[in-house]
Amino acid sequence: MESAIPHPLQEERKTPVSTPAAYTPPFPAWTTRFSPLVERVVMAYFGVQSTQTEGELALDAITARFSTAHGPSHWDLATYRDELGFINDIAIAYWASAETFSLWKTESDFQEWWQSVDREQEEYGLFMEVVTPDIRGIETIFSDHHHPEGIAHLARKMSDEIQEHGYWGSARDRLPLAQTSPLNTHSELRISSINAARQIVHGSDNLCLIRSGQDWSDTLNEERTLYVEDVEPILNTGMRFLRDDGPTIGCLSCRYMQVLERDDRALLPKTFGLAHFTDLQALELWSKSHPTHVAIFKEFMKYVKALNFDIKLRLWHEISVIPAQSQYFEYINCHPNTGLLKKGKSSCNTDSVR
């Protein structure tokens, strides 16, 4: 068993850990191990917002460029129907460096395509949410080390079993930057308009982004029934709370997304919650004490006990804490509840065009 924080990123701690004394995790878990050459990664969420399935085809104008030089090392496709009934089709792409991402935007003509006034005349909305966290600002955890998800596709390998998991506060204990900083925020998101159709949301310090996934592909019979009928509805309720009432507890945006097959866009038995919190502390408080998350945790423990802890469900998450200058959020013709627009403070008049 080893520490979740790799040796090259370990520092003398200025903040305490939450790991209980003489602690032994109740079940195994793993984290990602990146090459020492990876210092800053790119997580880019490209979305099309529409009232019909036209958004799926519109997204092809972006994903077709992924196969060009300097395209992403990995990308996923997912869909989500928001609280106003709009379908949001999203491609989530990962690059191992900001420099490679910048080259891709230029050499694939994405930048020219995105900035064209033609994008402002479309019958659907478009958005681009990009964060470039330092590798020290990322932590991951996996219940299965044979099936990488998300940013794990950029990793060199998975760790051995890790020590810091299975207790409240373990996510912070896995985060290298948290060794020396509480990672709190003291700023707010701010909106500015480029024109009537385009809006930019300027980031806030230590914004916390979590992508937390569930994969029931290998579940069978009783386990699948227990997950689909008992666990997932409780999870769905928690995600809806974060979507609709999240700002009351520091959640700025939440999408509960269904993963799609990239080739034919068939729905896969995989979901994930994608949420932005004001900072890591806000995420921790919801996870530890809010009734919606307590209900998720209790139902999950009931589920694993019913199966004698022998489950095929795979769980994982990636958490990033990101400085303001490493965030870029742009929305074209999107409704005002889209993503970070929902909680940004306007610095000028910004009228919705939808």
350: confidence class by pLDDT, cuts 50, 70, 90: very low
- Tokens linked to 16: 């305490």
Q: Give tens-digit pLDDT for 312-327.
A: 999 999 999 999 999 9
pLDDT in tens, 3-29: 999 999 999 999 999 999 889 998 899
Q: How far is CA 92 from the centre of its chain?
A: 9
Calculate the average pLDDT of the chain: 94
pLDDT in tens, 189-211: 999 999 999 999 999 999 999 99
pLDDT at res. 320? 98
Predicted local distance difference test score (pLDDT) of residue 352? 35
Q: Does 345 have pLDDT greater than 70?
A: no
Tell me if 97 sits within 8 A of 38, measured CB to CB. Answer: yes
pLDDT at 51 (0 to 100): 87
Residue 57 pLDDT class (50, 70, 90 cuts): confident
Q: How confident is the model at residue 351 (pLDDT cuts 50, 70, 90)?
A: very low
Please, are residues 285 and 249 in contact by the beta-carbon 8 Å criterion?
yes
- What pLDDT score does 354 carry? 33
Q: Is the pLDDT assigned to residue 183 strictly greater than 80?
A: yes
> What mean pLDDT do residues 60-72 have?
96
Tell me the pLDDT band of 53, cut-offs 50, 70 and 90: low
pLDDT at 58: 86
> Which whole number is the average pLDDT over 140-146?
97
Q: pLDDT band for position 56 (50/70/90)?
A: low
pLDDT at position 79 over 80: yes
Q: What is the pLDDT of residue 63?
A: 96
Q: At 344, is the pLDDT very low, low, confident or very high (cuts 50, 70, 90)?
A: low
pLDDT at 348: 41
**To the nearest whole percent, how much of the chain has pLDDT over 90?**
91
Average the pLDDT over each of 48-57, 102-111, 209-218 and give the range with the smallest value. Answer: 48-57
Q: What is the pLDDT of residues 229-278, one digit of tens each?
A: 999 999 999 999 999 999 999 999 999 999 999 988 899 999 999 999 99
Q: What separation in angstroms does the CA of 261 have from each of 91, 163, 266?
A: 11, 34, 5
Residues designated catalytic: 317
